[in-house]
Amino acid sequence: MRPPVMCAGCPHRGLFYCLHKLGVTVTGDIGCYTLGAAAPLSAMDTTICMGASVSALHGFNKARGAQAEHNSVAVIGDSTFMHSGMTGFVNIAYNDSNSTVIILDNSITGMTGHQQNPTTGKNLKGDPAYAVDLEALCKALGIRRVRVVDPYNMKQCEEAIKEELAADEASVIISRRPCALLKYVKHKAPLKVNADKCVGCKMCLKIGCPAISIHNGKCVIDSTQCVGCGICTDMCKLGCIYAD
């Protein structure tokens, strides 16, 4: 049986792969991104309750000091952040905690059925509503270092994580790309594989995408699932995976 896994094209996949690659301790939270704890990403160390990722990171860093500050992050979704992440975030700013929080902004409440949240610009009925500006909110709460990355760009994500962990003050990374299942998201054509180049190294499997499998020692991409996000092309050093 197939275990629970993030969807093909999930914007969180590349970010979690970078965290796993860097060996960072990750305090997690409640959302579809909690699947980042599962193999092969294995990029989440704690999941306690909604909003606890931020407050747990703050507590760990205050207790352990520099040992933890430069090698630990909290991850929390945009909806969860608005629901119960802000209170712990205020404590980070107020108590001068050197902590790095990553807000996984997929523009919706993914886990429970695509409900709107205060950042999306619509209320629960789908009517227009005030959209909270996450960058402005984080700065208003007292965080000076706020940056936005595209989780499909793993090089950009990795550089941002390294730079913010190295900083000696609190920081926020907003990983922003809409959920791949939203109806308004336009996908690219499915990727293809040059079987003659493929040596079966299985590097492409390390991101845990359900559209990728190995058959007869070669990478195979399921065109009915692939949305052409391109994360796997970064993984393949031989250039076997390509866009048509």
Which residue ranges make up each domain of the chain? 12-176, 192-242
Q: Mean pLDDT over residues 63-82, rounded? A: 95
Which pLDDT score, from 0 to 100, does residue 242 have? 96
Q: Which CATH architecture has domain 12-176?
A: 3-Layer(aba) Sandwich (3.40)
Residues 22-60: pLDDT tens digits? 999 999 999 999 999 999 999 999 999 999 999 999 999
> CA 76, 81, 85, 87 torsion: positive or negative?
positive
Rounded CA-CA distance 148/159 in Å is: 12
Kindly state the percentage of the chain with pLDDT values over 90: 97
Rounded CA-CA distance 139/135 in Å is: 6
pLDDT at 127 over 80: yes
Which pLDDT score, from 0 to 100, does residue 45 have? 97
Q: Which residues contact 168 (CB under 8 A, 6 or more apart)?
A: 98
Residues 195-244: pLDDT tens digits? 999 999 999 999 999 999 999 999 999 999 999 999 999 999 999 999 98
Which pLDDT score, from 0 to 100, does residue 17 have? 98
Which pLDDT score, from 0 to 100, does residue 236 have? 96
Give the length of the chain: 244
Angle value at C-alpha 46, between 44 and 51, nearest 5 degrees = 105
Secondary structure (DSSP) of 159-227: HHHHHHHHSSS-EEEEEE---TT-TTPPPPPPPEE-TTT-----GGGGG--TTEEEETTEEEE-TTT--
Type of residue at 190: P
Q: Mean pLDDT over residues 57-84, rounded? A: 96
Q: Which CATH architecture has domain 192-242?
A: 2-Layer Sandwich (3.30)
Q: Mean pLDDT over residues 60-70, rounded? A: 94
In whole numbers, what is the pLDDT of the chain averaged over residues? 96
Residue 17 has which token pair?
A: 């792969």
Q: Say whether 77 sits in a helix, a strand or coil.
A: strand
